[in-house]
Amino acid sequence: MRAFVEVRSQHSKGSSSKMFGGPDTYVAVQVVPDGQEPLRCLNKLAAERRGIKIFYVGEGYSKNTGPKSSLGRAIQEAEKIANHINALDELGVNIMT
């Protein structure tokens, strides 16, 4: 199994989204079992069918990726989680159960 950090953007649609705004980028970690390919689109049902686990880490604004921004901190946290999962996998620990 391998863990991958995913940083995905979502673009707001319609006039009400411009009024209310909100974070436009989210960060997740997907844990992919051996023999499976990582998902291109993080879809919960597709992940369940393939045995892939998706962990939401955080969100933020795509223009703010510095280490003190919420998106920057989410990316750093996701990288720590992915590195930890990959290290456990190298030791032979199965976290998928």
Higher pLDDT, 94 or 77: 77
Give pLDDT, residue 90: 87
Quote the pLDDT of residue 14.
54
- Tens digit of each residue's pLDDT (9 = 90 or more) over 66-90: 888 888 999 999 999 999 999 998 8
SS3 38: coil
Q: How far is CA 46 from CA 16, 43, 50, 71, in A?
A: 30, 5, 6, 26
- Comparing CA positions, the residue from 17, 14, 27, 18 lying closest to residue 64 is 27
Q: What's the pLDDT tens digit per position in 4-63?
A: 999 988 765 555 555 556 678 899 999 999 889 999 888 899 999 999 999 999 988 877
